[in-house]
Amino acid sequence: MAKADEKAITPQSEDFSAWYNELVLKAELADRGPVRGTMVIRPYGYRIWELIHDALDLRIKATGHENAYFPLFIPESHLKREAEHVEGFAPELAVVTHAGGHELEEPIVVRPTSETIIGEMFAKWISSYRDLPLLINQWANVVRWELRPRLFLRTTEFLWQEGHTAHADEADAQRETMVATEFYEQVAREFAALPVIVGDKTPSERFAGAVRTVTLETLVRDGRAIQSATSHYLGTNFSKAFEINYTSSDGEQALCHTTSWGMSTRMIGAVIMAQGDDKGLILPPRLAPYQIVIVPIGRDADLVPVVTETGRLADEIRGLGIRVKVDDRTTLSPGFKFNEWELRGVPLRIELGPRDLAAGVATLANRLTGEKTTVPLDEIGQQMSARLDEFQDALYQRALDFREAHTLTATSKEELADAVATGFALALHCGQKSCEDAIKEDLGATARCIPLDGEPEEGRCAYCDASSAYGKRILFARAY
RNA sequence: CGGGUUGUGGCGCAGCUUGGUAGCGCACCUGCUUUGGGAGCAGGGGGCCCCGGGUUCAAAUCCCGGCAACCCGACCA
């Protein structure tokens, strides 16, 4: 018998990075591509993305947006039209200089995001206030030449959706920014079982070219923050650069106010890091490729009735709209399968063997609690939906408890240092970029956001003791 | 771009100090036995030892020069 510790992944407490890297590969979520920083998303990982996609796409459409597709290639000159935007993205651009066997007259950039090309098209399509708001979304890949890649969290090429909208005035555009924020929060909470802190980015952390950036911050189990989605109010910055104008009802020319917002495959990384444990992944049922796995146990003559009952159960459960997998591989022992499906994060496992059949029950194992219970065979189908819902809720509650236990308020440099060492810190801050930089240098932490729902408070900056800005505590953490 | 570590069958590693033509575990294939927490025994297949030079009768091993990957920092969804 192989020793368990030879097959198990490195425990989180021993080396969180190693735990994450091994888990992504061993759970067959993704693999590294041949070009540094690229990622192959394997079927099991891609299915999770599809489930995120479906949840989000439904909400995007329900709020009046339409999907479209814009080109991967952008003329370099277009990207340069919005000054802050170019500056923000220049270091991470992949540029095509040769094509068709010749050097190109003008280099072509592989999109790092699509504000510019979409702005260009919006300018063409919008002429009257009657054309507004224009609400577009695209599902696409983008490329950012990252210096330090990490599967799902930061890859050179990644998948996302990017919403782009144009509005007649600021109020409508700001409202739009919050519409996107709300459905991101829903997907995070209801699908990924992740509590998020929603807030504004500080000026230094804002998207290049944005007037306002709203972010959703998630705490993962090594005490660091992951930005799981962002929504930007772009003001008229891109409208000016791309001449996105319209004629108002009183005949005046006016600039559109635009927004953009995105959620990417990084979300999968957040789920892995926030929900996993030493045994591996724990998937929220609503994002699990397989919500239930059934492991038949037995051999030869014993196995025949087991297989029959397994098939009947699987059909019954599948008929309820639950994603179920029967692991009927004959060359592997039950113990091996238990460990493998636990590593891969399947929420519930049904074990069915001769002993169960004789008693008219099935054994139900819970990935979160590790508990095994028996359930009468004629009740199991009707119980599964509720059990999955309970699992989803319990997982959310666990993440919420964890976050609350790892969120501290800080009123001094020392308290700030202690708080960010283990999780989120809520502290008053002076609002100076130089102070944010010093915190980053000194503590490795950044201002994650100015929470929308913070209590009003004034006082001294926890780090430099100058008078506080923002009128409330802001969130600091070490971040991915 | 700095600092560190590592390149040896698919994966994880030993061998390198003290040169003699490659080994272990897992995985894989075959057979028999096995199946309620990572099965056992027996047999078997698979390696340009990262690349290029050099030293030597002889290099995975020593010398010089590259390259790559990963981890830790600076940039970022």
Residue A37 gets the label, from left (phi > 0), alpha (psi -120 to 50) or beta, of: left
Provide the percentage of residues in chain A whose pLDDT is more than 70.
99
Q: How far is the CA of A31 from the C1' of B14 (A)?
A: 27
H or E segment and range at residue A372: strand A372-376
H or E segment and range at residue A306: helix A303-319
ipTM above 0.90 for this complex = no
Looking at the predicted structure, is the pLDDT value of residue A4 above 60? no
d(CA A453, CA A471): 12
Q: A184 is written with which tokens?
A: 């991101």
Looking at the predicted structure, is the pLDDT value of residue A133 above 70? yes
Secondary structure (3-state) at A244: coil
The CATH architecture assigned to A4-275 reads 2-Layer Sandwich (3.30)
Alpha helices (H) along A27-152: 43-62, 76-79, 83-89, 115-125
DSSP for A417-429, written as a single string: HHHHHHSEEEE--
Q: How far is the CA of A158 from the C1' of B49 (A)?
A: 36
Q: What would the pLDDT profile of A29-39 be if each residue is shown by its tens digit?
A: 998 887 888 88
CA angle, residues A270, A404, A182, in degrees to nearest 5: 55
Q: From the alpha carbon of A16, which nucleotide's C1' atom is closest?
A: B71
Q: Is the CB of A92 under 7 A from strand B?
A: yes
Stretch A218-224: mean pLDDT? 93
Q: From the alpha carbon of A333, which nucleotide's C1' atom is closest?
A: B35
- Note whether A469 and A438 are within 8 A (CB): no
> What does the pLDDT read at residue A2?
35
Q: Is the CB of A230 under 7 A from strand B?
A: yes
d(CA A344, CA A128): 52
Q: Which of residues 344-363 of A touch strand B (CB under 7 A)?
A: 351-357, 363
Q: What is the CATH number of domain A287-386?
A: 3.40.50.800
Q: Which of residues 100-129 of A touch strand B (CB under 7 A)?
A: none
Q: Which nucleotides of B are covered by protein (CB under 7 A)?
A: 1, 25-28, 34-40, 68-77
Stretch A128-149: mean pLDDT? 94
Stretch A288-298: mean pLDDT? 97
The CATH architecture assigned to A407-477 reads 2-Layer Sandwich (3.30)
Q: From the alpha carbon of A340, which nucleotide's C1' atom is closest?
A: B38
> What does the pLDDT read at residue A142?
94
Domain ranges of chain A: 4-275, 287-386, 407-477
Q: How far is the CA of A474 from the C1' of B12 (A)?
A: 45
Q: From the alpha carbon of A213, which nucleotide's C1' atom is closest?
A: B77
Greater confidence (A300 vs A235) lies with A235
Q: Greatest CA span in chain A, whole angstroms?
A: 84
Q: What would the pLDDT profile of A242-256 be if each residue is shown by its tens digit?
A: 999 999 999 999 999
Q: What is the dihedral of CA A83, A84, A89, A91, to 10 degrees?
A: 80
Stretch A18-46: mean pLDDT? 89
Q: From the alpha carbon of A160, which nucleotide's C1' atom is closest?
A: B77
d(CA A210, CA A133): 19
> What does the pLDDT read at residue A10?
84
Q: Which of residues 322-341 of A touch strand B (CB under 7 A)?
A: 330-336, 338-340
Between the two ends of chain A, the Cα-to-Cα distance in Å is 39
Q: From the alpha carbon of A359, which nucleotide's C1' atom is closest?
A: B36
Greater confidence (A245 vs A40) lies with A245
Q: A42 is written with which tokens?
A: 């394997």
pLDDT band at A80 (very low <50, low <70, confident <90, very high): confident
d(CA A341, CA A279): 10
Q: What would the pLDDT profile of A341-386 be if each residue is shown by its tens digit?
A: 999 999 999 999 999 999 999 999 999 999 999 999 999 989 999 9
Provide the percentage of residues in chain A whose pLDDT is more than 90.
80
pLDDT band at A272 (very low <50, low <70, confident <90, very high): very high
Q: What would the pLDDT profile of A389-435 be if each residue is shown by its tens digit?
A: 999 999 999 999 999 999 999 999 999 999 999 999 999 999 999 89
Q: How far is the CA of A440 from the C1' of B65 (A)?
A: 40
d(CA A378, CA A357): 11
Q: Is the CB of A262 under 7 A from strand B?
A: yes
Task: Find how far residue A270's CA is from the centre of its chain.
Answer: 6
Q: What would the pLDDT profile of A307-329 be if each residue is shown by its tens digit?
A: 999 999 999 999 999 999 999 99
What is the rounded average pLDDT for all residues in chain A? 93
b/e string for A193-219 if b means 16 or more Cβ within 10 A?
Answer: bbbbbbbbbbeebbbbbbbbbbbbbbb
H or E segment and range at residue A263: strand A257-264
